[in-house]
Amino acid sequence: MQIKIARLSDPKPSEITPESTYWNRRQWLSGLGYTGAMLALTGSAASAQAQSPSPWEQLLQQKLASTAPDPDPIDETLTPYEDVIRYNNFYEFGTGKGDPVANSKRFKVEPWSVRIDGAVQKPFTLQLEDLIKPHALQERIYRFRCVEAWSMVVPWVGFPLAELISRCEPTASAKYLRFETLVDPQRFPAQGFGRSTIPWPYVEGLRMDEAQHPLSLMVVGVYGKVLPAQNGAPLRLMVPWKYGFKSIKSIVRISFLEQQPPTTWERLASQEYGFYANVNPEVDHPRWSQKRERRLPNSLFDPNWIPTRKFNGYENEVAHLYAGMNLRKLY
């Protein structure tokens, strides 16, 4: 993972959607009952698709229009939409922060399916529509902290991973979940011959109790809109108390396992990236101090450093999951 402090692709202040504009727009749209129609015009993943929306897009737009507000929103300034969708890590599109937005313009979500297998009553495959049909969407405003020591506050839209887990009917031997990203060089150019930087597929994992925690979210939208390709369309994970690399994007397979699965960054550099990857200001990464973070938006002259909080500020909610564990060793 690389880091660049100032980027040519940095949005100008005038391009940034202020938080107040977002909230006013939401209130206005929902007041008029137009949210679905407007989102159909503005959803960036959708706009890359064919003219007439597919059944999946229609269903997603409908669901987004009735997203429930975050029941317990954190009182922190949202990172502007333009930063959330332009400052990304998604190696399938390239290693630069601006590569995902630049190289995903022609990304097509469909066809897409998610395979559920391993320690479940019966393996099965979910097509996109079936994936979200039974779930009511919720907004969750989460702090999001990358191991590279930058952070954001993002209004994600999704549904609890616990709901999907119960649909999968895991057996008693299921102790871990393993997630896998699509491998398709047609859609992910940096997976093409001679261009790969890391082994594919990108793989992540969670312990079962972490996955069932109410904060663990399957994300399909952001800022009330369809999740853009560069942020992991059509489906990504969000685990807000862990470093961002755990939040795997563009998922096509979820396996229930008895053993802890090897994960991408842990396999590449286990002395730097652990399986747990809980945000922890007391344990530094060899290249990045984890004591503080640059809260986006920032600039070279105003880096906006803030102290990092244990479990990214979710200590009350999740510390019990790690009682008795040595978090210096199990980082």
* Nearest of 11, 149, 6, 141 to residue 77 by alpha carbon: 141
- Nearest residue to ligand MTE, by Cβ distance, number only: 244
Q: What x/- string results for residues 82 through 111 when contact with ligand MTE is judged by CB under 6 A?
A: ------xxxxx-------------------
Nearer to ligand MTE, 16 or 29 (CB): 16
Cα torsion through 321, 325, 328, 331, rounded to 10: -50
Whether cis (ω within 30° of 0) applies to the bond prior to 201 is yes
Would you count residue 202 as binding ligand MTE (CB under 6 A)?
Answer: yes
**CB contact at 8 A, 40 and 18:** no
> Rule CB under 6 A: is residue 247 a binding residue for ligand MTE?
yes
Task: Identify the residue among 224, 244, 261, 274 touching ligand MTE (CB under 6 A).
Answer: 244
Quote the least distance from Cβ 42 to ligand MTE, whole Å: 18
Q: Is 275 in the site for ligand MTE (CB under 6 A)?
A: no
Q: What does the DSSP 8-state code read for residue 242?
A: B
Q: Alpha-carbon distance 263 to 248, whole Å?
A: 11
Helix (H) or strand (E) holding 221: strand 217-222
Can you tell me whether residue 82 is helix, strand or coil? helix
Rule CB under 6 A: say whether 161 interacts with ligand MTE.
Answer: no
Find the largest Cα–Cα distance for the chain: 56
Q: Binders of ligand MTE among 170-199, rule CB under 6 A? A: 181
* 57 near ligand MTE, rule: CB under 6 A: no
Min dist. Cβ of residue 85 to ligand MTE (A): 8
Backbone phi, then psi, for 237, in 5-degree steps? -95, 150
* Nearest CB to ligand MTE, comparing residues 50 and 102: 102
Which residues between 129 and 148 bind ligand MTE (CB under 6 A)?
146
Residues forming contacts to ligand MTE in the complex (CB under 6 A) are: 1, 88-92, 146, 181, 202, 231, 244-245, 247-250
